Structure 1
Amino acid sequence: MADKTESLEEVRRVVEDNDIEFIFASFSEVRGKSSAKLVPVSQLDTLFGAGVGFAGYAAGEIGQGPHSPDIELIPDPATLRIVPWRPGLAHLIGDARVDGGSWPYCPRSILRRQIARAAELGYEFRIGFEAEFMLVDHDENGKLVVADRHDTWPKPCYDVKGLTRQYDFVTQLSRYVTGLGWENYAVDHEDANGQFECNVTFADALETADRAVFFRYMVETVAQQHDMIATFMPKPFTDNTGNGFHYTMSLWDPETETNLFEDPQDPLGLSQLGYRFAAGILDHARGYAAMVAPTVNSYKRMKAGTDAIRTWVPVAMAYGGNNRTQMLRIARPGAIEDRTPDFSGSPYLGFAAALAAGLDGIERNLQVGEPNTANLYEYSPRQLRERGLGLLPGSLLEAVHYLEKDDVLRSAFGTVPVDRADAPGEVEDFVDYYARLKRDEFHAVNDVVAQHEVDRYLQFP
C-alpha cells in the first residue's frame, strides 16, 4: 500500500476494498513501547472522532500516574497500513492526547514540533534507517543462543549459506516490506552470527519513524512465525557484533524536491549546509547519545573492536567519507549516515534529537573541519584526543549527564506538566523527566551483582 490515506473517507475506502475487519490503533511511550487497542471497523467514526482511551500509567512511561486522566488516541490517517501476514487486519498510529489537547510527553508530538520548526526554515527533514537484528532462541538449558546453530563462522558477514538457511524468513520479510511500499532493495546477513539487515528507502522523518515502529513489530512477529525470536537489543552477546539502527539524513526543499545536502562539486558530494548540519550533530553528540543509544546495554555495543568484542560502531565524535570507523559517514553524495544509534528506544525521540542538533549547527554556522580518513579503531583514547577528537560517552549515566547540560536539546524537547496531585500547574523540562527515567534505569541494571562479578572478585586479589 504505497499511497498515503489523508482522510477518514480514504481510510474507509481502503478498509472496504481490502475486507479489513479490525484495526490496531497504537501510540508509543517514551521508552519506545507501542500500546494498542483492537478496534472493529464498525467503530471507525468513533475512532476518528472521540478516539480510544488508554490508562497512560499502565501503558508505560508517558508522564502519568495512577490518578491521571486517560491517554486519548485519535489516529493519523496517513499511517494506515494493511498488516501483510494477517488478512482482515490493519494498523494505525496516532499521537497521545489528554483532555482533548496535545500531551507534551508524547514522542511523536515532540518529533512533529521539530519537523514544524525545520519547515519554518524552509527545510523538510528526510531520513532512512538500517535496522540490524538477530534471530535467536533459547537452548535446552535456557541459555540465549543464535537460532541457526550452523551459523558459527568467525566472520559471517554476507555469508550466502547463512542467508540461504533463513531464506524463507528473509524472503517473506522482503515481500512484506515491498508490499508496504517501502521498496526493499536488499536483505543481507550482517557481521554477527544470526544477524540480518533489511534495507528500505528513506522518507520524511515522521513517516520513517512510523515505519520503524511497524517494522519492528513486523520483524518480531514474522520471526515468531518461524519459531525464532528477533531481537533489536544493542548487545545480546559479548562476543558478537551489536545491533545498530543507523540514520541516513538529509534536508530537502519541499517545493523544488531538491536535496539541499548534495553538491556535485564537493569531494564527498556534501553541501556546506550538510557540513554545518554534521557539525551540529558532532557538537551535541555526547548529550544526543542519551536519546539514540538510550539503554545501559547500548554502551556495551559502543566499544572499539577487539578479539573478544566485535563491533562496527563509533567511539569518537568524528566524520569522514566511506569509512565505517567514523561516527558520521558520508558514503554517498547528499546524505549523512550516523552510526551511533541503536533501536532500544523511541525513533521519534532519536529523530527529533538529530534534527535539533543539526539545525543548531546550521543556525550557528558551525564548522566541521577536515574529514578523517584513518582507521580510528587503531587509536587509543589519548591518541584520539591528541587528534582533536572527543570520545563518545562510555555509559548511559555519562550520556545523561551531558544531556542535562545541553541547552539546545533541552529547549528542543520542551516543557511538560509535573503530573503530581500536590503540584498543580507546575512544569519541568522534558529532558529532566527523561534523565530521571534513564538514571533510574542505569541503577536498576548496574546495581545488580552479576555472576561475572562474583567470578572475578569473590576472592580477589
Structure 2
Amino acid sequence: MTLDAPVDRSADLTSRARQDGVRFLLALFVDLTGKPCAKLVPVESADTLQHEGVGFAGYAVGAMGQEPSDPDIMAIPDLASYTPVPWVREGLALVHCDPHVEGKPWPFAPRVILKTMLERTDADLFAGAEVEYFLVNRGPDGTVTPADDKDTDARPCYGARGLTRMYDHLTEVSTAMNALGWGNYANDHEDGNGQFEQNFAYADALTTADRVITARYLISVLAERRGMTATFMPKPFGDRTGSGLHLHLSLWRGGDALFPGDAEHGLSTMAHQFLAGVLDHAHALQAVLAPTVNSYKRTGATSTRSGATWSPRRPSFGGNDRTHYVRIPEGDRIELRGADGSANPYLALAATLAAGLDGIARSGHPGETGARTRPELPPTLLHAVEALAADPVVSGALDAAGPGVASYFAELKRAEFFDWHSTVGSWEHDRYLTAF
C-alpha cells in the first residue's frame, strides 16, 4: 500500500479501504477518561459501518453516562478521519467515530462535545499538541523502570546516545506519522529518564484531537511489539519530570489568523482576551486538563533529578518562558502548559475554547506579562473538581451537547480521588506503622 498516492476523499469507506488494501477497520472512539474503545470490522461490512454504525453496550464501554439497561451506543465513522495503520498490522485502518444513541449524537461522547463547541463559534480553533510519554518496563513485583537500563543520566534531556538507543521505535513512529501526512518534524529525548516526545504539525482542533488519540494508540502498540510499555501517565516517577500535553492554540476566520498583533505587542487584542479567559478559568480547567490523582504529583512537584519540573504552579503567562501556565513562543499563538498526558484531548480543547471565548465576550485582560499574582493551581484532583463544579463556563463546555455531563464527570473524578485516598500504601506503613 502506498499512502502518499492521491486519495479520493469523496469515495465511500468501502472504496477507500479496498483502494488501500485494507482488510479490517478499527472503528474507534474514547470515553470521558480517554480510554480507546473499538470494534474490528471486516472490509466486507464497511458499507454497513458507514451507514448504520457498529453497536456497543455503553455501560461496558466505561465512562459514557450509561447504565446496563440503556440502549446501545452506535459508533458512526467520520470518513475524514480514516487512517490506514499498516505499521500496526498489514491491512488495518482506523476510523474515528461519533457515538450515537437512538439516532442522535450521544452528549457524553468527548468527540461529540468538541464538535458541538466548535460549531458554536464563528472562528476556527487550530491546535498543535506535544505528546510526551515514557517507555518503561514493569517487573514481576510491580516495579516500574525505564525500558532503557542505560538511561541513567542525571540530566538526560536531548541526550544523543539515549535518543539513538531508542532509534528503531522512534523512527518507526516518525515514519508512520509522515506517511499519514501529519508532518512529524522532531523526535527527542525529554527531561526524564525514559521520556520522549514526537512532534507533528498543527491542524484544526478536531483533527489534532483525533491525531493525539491515534498517536497514543500507535506509540503504545509499537512499543509493546518491542517488549516495552509506553505510558502517558503524568508522573510515573516521583523524582523525575512528568509528561505534559502542551497545546498550541490559535483562532482563525476565513483563512485569516486572528491572534497576531503588531510588532510591539506580539499578540492581538483578541488573543489577549482569549488568554485572559484561559487564565480566569484555569482552576476549573485543570479538572479537565489534569484529570487524574497522579496529575497533581506533576503540577505540585517542587524539584526533580534534573533540577526543573517544567510544570506550572500558578495561572500566569509570559513570553518564551516555559515556567508559565501559558507561554507565548511566537506572536501567532499561545501554548497552554497545564495539560498532561492523561488529558482527554477532545475535552481539553472544548473546555479551553469555552474559557477563551468567555474571555473574548467579556473583553478580558490577562494582567501583566510575567506576573504571578493569581492563586496557585489546585493542589489535588478533588480541589480541581470542586473548582469545575463552581465554574459555569467550563462546566458548560462539558454540557455542550446535552445536560448532565459535567456533573457526571465531576462525580466520576470525586470517586477516583476517594478511591485513591482510601487505599493504604507503603508511604503510610513507613510513616505510621511504628510511629506511636
2:46 alignment partner AA:
L
- Offset, 1:11: 3.2
The correspondence for 2:406, drawn from 428, 431, 436, is: 431
User: What is the aligned partner in structure 2 of residue 158 from structure 1?
Assistant: 158
Mapped to 2, the partners of 1:284 and 1:22 lie a distance apart of 43
1:273 alignment partner AA:
M
1:90 alignment partner AA:
A
1:26 alignment partner AA:
L
- Offset, 1:170: 0.9
Mapped to 2, the partners of 1:165 and 1:37 lie a distance apart of 35
Matched, 1:66 2:68: yes
User: What is the aligned partner in structure 1 of residue 426 from structure 2?
Assistant: 451
User: What is the aligned partner in structure 1 of residue 96 from structure 2?
Assistant: 93
- Offset, 1:416: 7.7
Mapped to 2, the partners of 1:4 and 1:344 lie a distance apart of 33
1:213 alignment partner AA:
I
Mapped to 1, the partners of 2:159 and 2:8 lie a distance apart of 40
- Offset, 1:144: 0.8
Mapped to 2, the partners of 1:153 and 1:193 lie a distance apart of 7
Mapped to 1, the partners of 2:296 and 2:260 lie a distance apart of 32
1:107 alignment partner AA:
P
- Checking the alignment, whether the CA contact within 8 Å between 1:303 and 1:311 is kept in structure 2 is no
User: What is the aligned partner in structure 1 of residue 321 from structure 2?
Assistant: 323
The correspondence for 1:102, drawn from 79, 93, 105, is: 105
Partner deviation per Cα, 1:60-117 (whole Å, 9 max, x = no partner): 1101111110000110000100003122110111111001111111111110111001
Mapped to 2, the partners of 1:98 and 1:142 lie a distance apart of 40
Mapped to 2, the partners of 1:457 and 1:4 lie a distance apart of 64
Kindly tell me: are residues 5 and 438 of structure 1, through their superposed partners in 2, closer, same or farther at Cα, counting changes over 3 Å?
A: farther
Q: Secondary structure at the match of 1:48?
A: helix
Mapped to 2, the partners of 1:71 and 1:266 lie a distance apart of 52
Partner deviation per Cα, 1:344-364 (whole Å, 9 max, x = no partner): 142111110010000000111
Unaligned stretches of 5+ in structure 2?
A: none
User: What is the aligned partner in structure 2 of residue 377 from structure 1?
Assistant: none
- Checking the alignment, whether the CA contact within 8 Å between 1:5 and 1:80 is kept in structure 2 is no
Mapped to 2, the partners of 1:180 and 1:6 lie a distance apart of 14
Aligned residues: 431
Structural mapping, 1:229-308, within 5 Å:
229-253=229-253, 255=254, 257-267=255-265, 269-307=266-304
- Checking the alignment, whether the CA contact within 8 Å between 1:5 and 1:77 is kept in structure 2 is no
Mapped to 2, the partners of 1:61 and 1:89 lie a distance apart of 27
- Offset, 1:414: 2.2
- Checking the alignment, whether the CA contact within 8 Å between 2:13 and 2:50 is kept in structure 1 is no
- Checking the alignment, whether the CA contact within 8 Å between 2:286 and 2:339 is kept in structure 1 is yes
2:411 alignment partner AA:
R
- Offset, 1:48: 1.2
Mapped to 2, the partners of 1:343 and 1:307 lie a distance apart of 18
Kindly tell me: are residues 416 and 19 of structure 1, through their superposed partners in 2, closer, same or farther at Cα, counting changes over 3 Å?
A: closer
TM-score by length of 2: 0.95
Calculate percent identity across the aligned residue pairs. 45
User: What is the aligned partner in structure 2 of residue 423 from structure 1?
Assistant: none
- Offset, 1:51: 1.2
User: What is the aligned partner in structure 1 of residue 34 from structure 2?
Assistant: 32
- Offset, 1:271: 1.1
The correspondence for 1:341, drawn from 339, 344, 366, is: 339
- Offset, 1:459: 2.7
Q: Secondary structure at the match of 1:282?
A: helix
Kindly tell me: are residues 80 and 247 of structure 1, through their superposed partners in 2, closer, same or farther at Cα, counting changes over 3 Å?
A: same
Q: Secondary structure at the match of 2:47?
A: helix
Matched, 1:167 2:159: no
Kindly tell me: are residues 429 and 303 of structure 1, through their superposed partners in 2, closer, same or farther at Cα, counting changes over 3 Å?
A: same
- Checking the alignment, whether the CA contact within 8 Å between 2:14 and 2:47 is kept in structure 1 is no
Partner deviation per Cα, 1:249-292 (whole Å, 9 max, x = no partner): 00011x2x22111124234x211111111100000000010001
- Offset, 1:305: 3.3
Unaligned stretches of 5+ in structure 1?
A: 374-383, 418-427
User: What is the aligned partner in structure 2 of residue 376 from structure 1?
Assistant: none
User: What is the aligned partner in structure 2 of residue 18 from structure 1?
Assistant: 20
- Checking the alignment, whether the CA contact within 8 Å between 2:31 and 2:61 is kept in structure 1 is yes
- Checking the alignment, whether the CA contact within 8 Å between 1:415 and 1:429 is kept in structure 2 is no
The correspondence for 1:42, drawn from 44, 49, 60, is: 44
Mapped to 2, the partners of 1:324 and 1:345 lie a distance apart of 19
Partner deviation per Cα, 1:184-228 (whole Å, 9 max, x = no partner): 000000000000000110100111111111100000011111111
